[in-house]
Each structure stands twice: as C-alpha cells, then as structure tokens.
Amino acid sequence: MNILTVGASPYLLTKSSKINRDILLSLKEDGHNIASAVWHNDITWFMNNQDDGTSMFEDNRKKICSLYPFIDLKERSSPQMYEIMKKFQPDIVITIGDYDEIDFIYSIKALYPDLFKWVAVLTIDALPINDNHKQALEYIDIAIVTTKKAKEAFEKFCDVTCYCVPYGPDHEKFFSNNLTIEQNKFKIVCCSKNSQTSNLSSVIRAVGDLDIENVECYLHTNLYDQGDYDLYLLVDRYGKNKVKLPEKFVGLNDGLSEEELRNRFISSDVVIDASVRSGTGLTLLEAMACGCVPVATNVGAIGEIMDLLPGYMEAHINSNTYVGKNEEEYEIISTKDLTNILYNIYSIKRNNVDLFKDMKKQSIIVAEKFSNKIFLGKLKEIIEISKDIKNVLLVKSF
C-alpha cells in the first residue's frame, strides 16, 4: 500500500519526530511504499535535497523514503498537502501530533472522502478538547490516542473509532544493567525542551532551593536553539551552582547520542518532568527505564505514568490549574513542593539504601509497560482494520 505519514521531520529529536521515525522504519520493513510530509525539516542542516524539492530520509545509510517538506500554517497547509497527495497518491494517511496540529487534513477528506483512509495518532497533551475542532476531527477514520483520559474525552467528543495505545521507549537503547548507588552525590536530571510548557524555570528554582551541598542537576535541553528562556540567566539567578547546562552541543536537530544520554540517566538518581501538559511522557519513561526515580506533574501522560508506581513512591508535584492555549487546562507546579519531594527522596537515599534501590527497580518495571514496539504492533493491526472501513456520505435534510 501507499502510506503517507504527516508530522514532524523524522530527523529531529522530539517525541513527535521519534514517533514518525519509528512508524516509517516499521512500514518500510513491512514492504509498504511510504513517504512523509513533514514540518520543521531544516534543509540547511540536513543537506539531502533532491531536484524535485523533496529530500531523502536515510537511516544507517539506507534510503527509507522521500520527505515532502511543507510549512505548517493553517491557511497554507491544506493546499500544500493536496499537492503532495496528488504526487504520492496515498491509500492511507497517518497523521502524528496534537489535534490542532493535524486537523487541516479534514478539508481534503471532506472534498474527496474515498481518496484515502485517515488514521490519526493524536498526542493530546491537555484537556478538554477544544469544541471548535469537532467538525474537522469527525472526518478521521480511526484515531489512536496515547493516554486513557484522552481516549475517554475523545470518545465523548467525536463519533470516531478510537484506541488508546501509549507510546514508549526503545528498550534496546534505554535500559539499566547497573543499580550501583553513588552515596556521596545526589544527582538529578531533567530532559525537556526550552519552552514555557516544560516549566524549566520552576525546576531550576526548586533545585536551587534544596538545602543539600552535594546535589547536582543536569538540565538536558536544546540549549543551542532559540527557546523561550534565557537559561544562562535563570541558572545564575536561581541555580546556585547546583544546576548544570549541557557542555556539548544539544539542539532539536542534533545532540548527545542515545548511548550518551542513556549513560547520563543511569548515573542519575532522580528524573524531573514539571511540564504543564504531557502527551506521551517519553523522556520521563526513557529515564525511568534506566533506573531514575521519577518526580512529575500530575497532568496528561506523565500523571498516568506516575499513577502506576507503588503508593510509597507517590511523587506527584502539587500544582494549580490554569487555562492555556486552545482553552485547555494546564498544571503549574509548586516549586516549594518540588523542593520538599526532592529532599525526601534524598533522605531515603542517604538513610535507607535498600528502599532507594527498590524505588529504582519499580521505576524500571513501570517503564517496561510502555514500549515503541508495542505501539508499532498495534498500529499495524489498526492499518489492517482501516482497509475495510467504508466511507459513508451523510446528507442532511432541513
């Protein structure tokens, strides 16, 4: 079959990019004819352009598929996508992203309902779903959402077949074979994009307020991209020599290798995710798979991940709700509560090593419940189901 994915460039280091990358590699392995319409494909960085304006996605020096770059602006996305579809003639279109990122597909689907089947991988990171998108989302043939609460909300919102399939780490790349505990340091890691939605300022402030001399927090973020924060300023203001920024190049296009990042996680005690919203919790899960004890906001995917931990590991950070983009409800954490949680975990590590080792083991057990392999296996089943869906044109009488 001809299958077109629509989402972030598979070359980037974001969650949506990783999902697109995994899907493309899996579909290629299954023998489908594939291509991807992508946003944020930096042609100055990935110099693999072809004469027709497309570029080639390669993995380990193997050619995987053509990439069709387009600009993700609402008023321009649909015409661009229509031209891409005319060239590629897809049987199935798989979109990847939050509902407001991909709903422009409906305008093509509405005009040509039999042209393709629309499978939407929706990484809904905050609720409720905005009512203004209802009409567009009802053109989806099958929806895949990554959290239980998103599935409940979507099924009430749209009369569309919906599956909950969480996305998780590649456990061949993120794992722990060493739970040795270094007693003379308390090492924290936070792996988040330089964005206000990641709430890095609160992490820096909470760590800086820790009354511990031997604490070190490594902030793994896209330091070399233009972000929402001046991180050097925030670390100087709040970090108190306890927060460390990347010494090597880290951006959305390139950064540490997966092996380097895994080793950073393995050497850390705690991972923090203080995001105000969350669609997959991928970086939290990658760190947990390497033995990091998680501390996170009770929101979206990261909230559901934390709920799976034993009661004695309860580390939801207290937060207040505010209304953000698309009139969705976000959570902003209490920095004081984060400081207290970190100090309590530090006390356990210092005074009860066996309990702390068990907390690390429980983190690994929970992370293993989430896997990109499970996600891809379920997607294959859904692709087969989508073949048999019959589109029905509804005619309303007034």
Strand-strand pairing, 293-297 and 92-97: unpaired
Check residue 385 and give left, alpha or beta (phi > 0: left; psi -120 to 50: alpha).
alpha
Q: Is the pLDDT of residue 347 over 80?
A: yes
What's the pLDDT score for residue 210?
A: 96
By CB atoms closer than 10 A (0-12, 13-18, 19+), residue 374 is: middle
Residues 191 and 68 grouped into a single domain: no
What's the pLDDT score for residue 395?
A: 37
Residues 340 and 378 grouped into a single domain: no
Strand-strand pairing, 319-323 and 329-333: antiparallel
Residue 204 lies in a domain: yes
Residue 173 lies in a domain: no
What's the pLDDT score for residue 184?
A: 87
What's the pLDDT score for residue 180?
A: 77
Q: Which residues contact 139 (CB under 8 A, 6 or more apart)?
A: 105, 106, 109, 110, 113, 118
What's the pLDDT score for residue 3?
A: 98
Of all residues in the chain, what percent carry a pLDDT higher than 70?
94
397 pLDDT band (50/70/90 cuts)?
A: very low
Residue 397 lies in a domain: no
Residues 135 and 194 grouped into a single domain: no
Residues 110 and 138 grouped into a single domain: yes
Residues 152 and 192 grouped into a single domain: no
- The total of structural domains in the chain comes to 2
Residue 152 lies in a domain: yes
Distance of alpha carbon 179 from alpha carbon 387, whole angstroms? 47
Residue 249 lies in a domain: yes
Residues 53 and 164 grouped into a single domain: yes
pTM here is 0.94
Lowest mean pLDDT, pick from 8-12, 49-53, 236-240, 347-351: 49-53
Residues 120 and 205 grouped into a single domain: no
Residues 206 and 303 grouped into a single domain: yes
Residues 197 and 54 grouped into a single domain: no
Residues 133 and 191 grouped into a single domain: no
Check residue 389 and give left, alpha or beta (phi > 0: left; psi -120 to 50: alpha).
beta
Residues 33 and 153 grouped into a single domain: yes
- The whole domain housing 333 covers 186-370
What's the pLDDT score for residue 394?
A: 41
Residues 193 and 153 grouped into a single domain: no
- Phi, psi torsion values for 35, nearest 5 degrees: -155, 170
pLDDT tens profile 119-172: 999 999 999 999 999 999 999 999 999 999 999 999 999 999 999 999 999 999
The CATH number assigned to the domain holding 238 equals 3.40.50.2000
